[in-house]
Each structure stands twice: as structure tokens, then as C-alpha cells.
Structure 1
């Protein structure tokens, strides 16, 4: 029987969606679902969701719930990681303290000050997960959803290279999906290839029946000038390749936008947007829990778009799929640093997640990716070496932070954030 462990199962909205996708596959309706979280209340809610979802779908999984990670990992074939170290309170600190210095962020979970400190909080937990998996379930695949994706996969590649890990993010798929809707082109008739780094990959190929769709995007921008008032459209027009993450995300990975009031207005950038999203997630958690207690049915209508259920189904059944995933760069993208995480097309079947060779990215795309990667590499190495100076060097290398603050301000901000996060930050870095 296939055993799927959920770490951070208390992320109940996401867990609900994944469970509905998994149990919608006929071949997975009898799996074992081992739920784990460190919060008893959230774990209880996750278990209620799992049982209600199974009941509504007529599935018969074995469901267990435990606060003990090692117990959840026992016998696991797949481990889905959806933890958020520090939860909402840490996210608020990552926004409010930098804002006092005049540093603007939108999402703050991938790069920049927010991404760096989220990574530093997460790495110690990744150490424990990797060690437990290599001892308890060494053949299992770690399917990581936790951000900062590239830093986390890069860290695991450096510290636990024998661990079978893939980072899953739907940004490439949804970028293509949404562009197809804009252009009026059927998604199932489109061929595409994205490559780069997570949240800053590029559509290198975007074709309908063998013809590039980029001219259609150009026509759309000419026909509707309001479409140009988005960061991604602006970047596409200047770089020639479409970035595969939202405008909110994309704005904070470059030095061009967030430091300028007129650019924020021109491109309608929602500064601090992730605080609203995070608060909405907390509210939705309570709404779902209340609905469960009232005995109301869950919305289990899904179209199986999340990657983890597809990956699990492919590995269990041998059904071949092509997805985009985050893996260590072992010669996959030749003009990005070896060993750090890259996002590339991957074939998935019984043999696992097998990344495709991409070669060299267009120079302008690689140039932006390299500055993105430099921040992550410095953060990873800071944690490995226990070097607080390197944390600050990572912040100095960050494009948005460097465009906004002086070096003295950057160091002071890092000092303040380190103190504010307390023992969530490894002792050597405090």
C-alpha cells in the first residue's frame, strides 16, 4: 500500500486541495495518509478534512494523525512538505520591520529580506526532515512545497545530496493557463517549455500548433494598452521572454520597480500584498474548521492541477507525465551555477522525477537569474557555515534591497530581524 506523509498538514486549505486531487485517482483511493503537524488544533482539523474528503469521494484511505514526525514518516513512499516555520506572526515581522526602513516588499517568501529570513528559519527543520527520512524511509521522495523553494532545494542539495527531493510549484502551469485564456487559445493545444529558477523562470517555448504565441501577446498589448500596466508584461516587453510568476512576485526580484513611487503606480504593484493573503489564509482556516464542526460538506471538486498528486500517481502507476519541477542543477542549465536549484521540465513515471537538459538560457534571462541565485547561494552558505556576516552579504546582494537601502541600513535591518525572530534563527547566526 502506498504511504503518503503530509508534513505541515495543518495548512488545511492546501491539504484539502491535495487530498481531493489524490483521492480522485482510482489507483490512490486506498492509500495511507499519514498527517503530521506541530499544532494539535490544526492537526485535528486536518484529520477531520481528510476523513470528510474521503467520505464525500467514496474513498477508503487509511488515515493517521500524529504530532511526531518520525512516526508519520515510518513506511512513507512520498513525503509532502508544506511547513511554514514561524507561521503568520513571523511573516508579519518580515514585512513590518523592513517597512520601517523604507524597504517595500510584496510577497517576501522567495528572495529579498523576507526570503532570506524565511529560509534561515526553515533550514534547521529541513535538516531534521532530511535526517529522519534518510534513516526511516530512505527510498521515499520528498515533494517540497515550502518556500523559499529555490533556497530550500539548494540547501538540501548541499546538505543531503542523497535525498530524493523535488520542489513543486504551479507557477509555470498557471502562467501558460492564464496566457491561453487571454489569447483565446486552447490550453491542450499549446506546447511550452519553462526554465530558470523558481518564481523567475522564462517561457522559452510557447507555441500553438507549432507557431509561436509571442506575436499574439504583442498584438494584445498593442490592442489593449492597459495590459502593459503589469510588471510581467513590462518585463516581457523589455526582455523578450515571459516570466513565469505573478507581477507581485516578479516586482521584488529586480531593482527597477519597488523603489519608485511612479513605477508602483504605473504598474499597479500591491505593496505588502502577502500580509493580506496570509490573513485571508488564517481566516479561511477558521471558516473551514467551523464548517466541519457544523457538519457541512467540503468543496472537493478538483481538476487535478496540483503537481504532487500527479507525481505520486505517475510513480505508482507508470503513467508518464511532463511537469516543471525544481531540482539541483547538474548540468541542466549551463549558464547558471552548478548545484543550486533550477526549475526545468521533468518527465515523471515509475523511475521518478527525471529532469530534462535545457542548455544555456538567453543571456538577459540568465543575467537576472544569476543575481537571484547569488542571494540564495549566500543564504545557504551562511547557514552551512554558521556565518552571520554572510547573511548580511546575501541581503547586500539582493537587487531590491540594494536599490533601496544603504549598506549600514541593510546591516541594521538584519540585526533587528535576527533579534525579532529570536530562537527561530539558528544560534550560530544570532
Structure 2
């Protein structure tokens, strides 16, 4: 029987196009049942047109269904891919513009920081609804989550739907390793690596070719090129001894050291507010794809895309064994990080499901930095689960970049203003201010 794959938030058409291109490129998955769901009817119609055009390009014959009714879309699902963005571009702009008035610099604002905190808070109610629907109409399905803030979302789902089978999927580790191999001019497919930590702040613990440690080659490359030292994660690597798996722009706002200092922003070539530009570019690309669909019978498939969700589905359907980096709730997997929160670890995928690998202790400096990353997310989740708006403010107070940049009074005022700005998108219990 052919599997049913549901894409929730399919109106994110660029990502939908990449996912379907990868899925339908597998010979064993050319006749899957694809169900597309979005609350925006125009975007959903565009996603359906993309699905048909991509299928024609792949020579595949999937059954394609679309629905604005989420519960109906989820009925009988085997795999649910979540790519929602609650509030869309307008909410993203608010997450940048309001903090900027307080003097708080952000680059991406989707993981921690006040941007990540409020992105999580407006995503949680929708996640709870997806989980409740899945429990009733597809209780055995896997939820493959791409939506940020990844670690917060996976941790939240563990609290509200502990029986749900969830994998958080992010391409940062893969592309980090591809980039590192290019930097030292060693073919990626000749290398082996081992990475663990938390999403957007994991660490390359081992990186080898034929048993040879490749870190010394990276050291030589950095020493030979002063411009490489003008990147945040190169700076982090030189000081901490292990390479972080997220981009410099992302990494800069998880730390107290860089964004509050104009000289460091210049030295490390950081683009303040970068994600606003990316979000605007996504809107432009959506318009471009719609225009392309008006004249094209098929859409070319990007053969360079290597998203994990299609690989997970292929492995679980065929039994082909793969190891990927996946986000899953810690249960002794990383022994010097707290249990009950999402961590990113090597995970074996096969016909029996997903099997996370026990890593043990991270290097102490890496675990220490991870704990400062985990704290704000853990409190944000507790705020939503307990309905406690005070914890939202404390989460922001503990965020490294926010704490280094603003006074506690400014942080509380900022949280009040963001709460009012996002309004009904937030959990109802968190739409109030907290008097001191």
C-alpha cells in the first residue's frame, strides 16, 4: 500500500517544491499519496500546481490532494511534514522592528532571543492542534518537523503529546560539513563525521578521512587566510576547540559576545536584521514561482537538494539504512545536558523507525554553552505549558544576547510590547502583562 505524506504549511511553496522534488526522485516513492494543507487558499492552490508540475518533471505519478481542513488532510497519514510559519512575514518584521527600537540587534531571530521566544509562543498553539488531530486520525504517523524554533517546538510537543512520534529535521549539520570539506578541498563523500549538541548549536566532535583527523587541515586553512577569521563560528572554533554547526549569522545571536559591540559587528561582518531580507525574498520567490507556473508544464527539480524528510520516508518505507542528525528529546543521549529537552544527535533511520545514538558527555565547554542556549527555550516552553506570562519575561532575561544588550526593565517593556503586537497569535494565557 502506498504511503500517505501530508505537508502542513504547504503554501511555503519553495520548500514544498524542494521536498516533493526529493521525494518523487526516489523510484520507490513515485506513486505516493501526497496531501497538501494550508490555511491560505491561494497559496494552497499554488502548492498543488507545483506538485503536479514537479511530478511531471520527475516522471512520477503521485496522487495529489489538497485541503484547507487540517483534520481532513491528516486522515490516514503515515508521515506529516510540518513547515508552518505562524504569522508569516508580518510577524517576522514585528520580531525585528520592535526589539530594534530598544537597541537590540538580531540577525535571524527564529531560535532563541526575543524573536525566537515569540516565534515559539505563536507556533505552540498550532502545534498542539496538529498533535491533537494526529492523535485521533493518524496516531501511528511520524511528525517530521522543520518549523523553527526547532528545539523549543520538539520540547513543547514532548510536554503536550508525549506519545507522538516526532523527529526534528534541520539541514545545518549537513551543509556545515559540506562547507568545511570544500574549505580544505577534501571530497565530502570521502569524509566521516560525528556531531552532537542542540539544534543550531551542535558541535563537530569528529571529522576524519581514512582515519585522519581533518581539524589540523582546517587550522592551516584559517591560519593562511585572515579573512576567514572574520567569521563568528571561526572565532568560536578557535576559542572553544570544536566547530559549531550553524552559520555565523545564526550563531552570533545565541551569544553575549558579539552583537552588542559595533566593532565586533564590523569585524565579523554581521548583517543585522538579515532574516527580514530573506523573508522578503521568499515573498518575491513565491510570486516568481506563480508566474512560472502560468506558462510551464513542469518545474525543474533541484538535484542539489538533500533534505532529510524524503530520506527518512525512503528509509522507513524501503529499509535502506541511513544516519542523519535529528532532533529528539534527551533521555540520556547527551549525559551532561538536561533530560526532557530536545537535543540534536546522530540517528539511525531504517524500516523500524528512528534510533537516536547515545553520545555521552559533550566536551565541557560545549555543554556549558549549550546550557545557556537551552535555558531560554526551556522556560518559553514552561510558560506555554503552565500559562505563566512571567516565565516569558524570565526567558528573555536569561537569553545571552538580550541580557548583554538591555536592562531588565527594558526587557520586560519589550516583552509587553511584543505581546501586544502579536496579540491573538499567542496562547490566550500569555496575552497579559506582568506587574512587578
TM range, smaller chain: over 0.9
* Equivalence for 1:375: 376
CA contact (8 A) 1:21 1:303 kept: no
Aligned residue in 1 for 2:250: 249
Secondary structure of the corresponding residue to residue 335 of structure 1: coil
Q: What is the deviation of 1:221? A: 1.0
Q: Distance in 2 between matches of 1:206 and 1:295?
A: 44
The whole-number CA distance in structure 2 between the counterparts of 1:411 and 1:383 is: 17
Does the residue aligned with 1:374 lie in a helix, a strand or coil? helix
How far apart are residue 303 of structure 1 and its match?
A: 3.9
2:357 aligns to what? Answer: 356
**Greater CA deviation, 293-302 or 114-123?**
293-302
Q: Is the 8 A contact 1:199 1:245 kept in 2?
A: yes
1:65-76 correspondence to structure 2 within 5 Å: 65-76=66-77
**What is the CA–CA distance in structure 1 between the aligned matches of 2:299 and 2:103, rounded to whole Å?**
42
Give the Cα separation in 1 of the matches to 2:257 and 2:173. 23
1:253-308 deviation per Cα after TM superposition (whole angstroms, max 9, x unaligned): 00000000000000001110000100000000000001101226422132451100
Secondary structure of 1:337's aligned partner: coil
- Aligned equivalent of 1:301: 302
1:141-160 paired onto structure 2 within 5 Å: 141-160=142-161
Preserved contact between residue 53 and residue 297 of structure 2 (Cα < 8 Å): no
Show structure 1 runs of 5+ residues with no match: none
Equivalent positions of 1:271-282 (< 5 A) are 271-282=272-283
How far apart, CA to CA, are the structure 1 residues paired with 2:221 and 2:115? 34
Is 1:174 aligned to 2:181, yes or no?
Answer: no
Q: Does 1:405 align with 2:406?
A: yes
The separation in 2 between residues aligned to 1:119 and 1:355, in whole angstroms, is: 24
Instruction: Determine the structure 2 residue equivalent to 1:331.
Output: 332
The answer (yes or no) to whether the contact 2:57–2:300 under 8 Å persists in 1 is no
**Residue 6 of structure 2 aligns to a residue in which SS?**
strand
TM-score w.r.t. structure 1 length? 0.99
Equivalence map 1:20-419=2 (5 Å): 20-295=21-296, 297-303=298-304, 305-419=306-420
Checking the alignment, whether the CA contact within 8 Å between 1:304 and 1:310 is kept in structure 2 is no
Secondary structure at the counterpart of residue 349 of structure 2: strand
Aligned pairs, how many?
430
Equivalent-residue separation in structure 1 for 2:290 and 2:142 (angstroms): 30
The alignment partner of 1:207 has SS state of strand
Q: Give the match for residue 427 of structure 1.
A: 428
How far apart are 1:328 and its partner, in Å?
0.3
Cα deviation, 1:313-362, whole Å, max 9, x if unaligned, reads 00000000000000000100001010100000000001111100000001
Q: Return the TM-score normalized by structure 2.
A: 0.98
CA contact (8 A) 1:83 1:146 kept: yes
Structure 2 residue runs without a partner (length 5+):
432-436
Contact between 1:2 and 1:31, CA under 8 Å: does it hold in 2?
yes
Between the aligned partners of 1:97 and 1:303, the Cα distance in structure 2 is 37
Mapped contact 1:320–1:348 kept (Cα < 8 A): yes
Taking the aligned partners of 1:303 and 1:225, their CA distance within structure 2 comes to 30
Q: Structure 1 265/296 Cα, relative in aligned 2: closer, same or farther at 3 Å?
A: farther
Question: Per-residue CA shift, 1:231-257, capped at 9, x if unaligned?
Answer: 000000000000000000000000000
Q: Distance in 2 between matches of 1:307 and 1:209?
A: 25
DSSP 3-state at the match of 1:384: helix
- 2:15 counterpart of 1:14: yes
Distance in 1 between the 2:292 and 2:302 partners?
Answer: 17
Paired residues of 1:206 and 1:212 also in contact (CA < 8 A): yes
Tell me if structure 1 keeps the 8 A contact 2:56–2:298: no
Query: What RMSD, in angstroms, separates the aligned Cα atoms of the two structures?
Result: 0.7
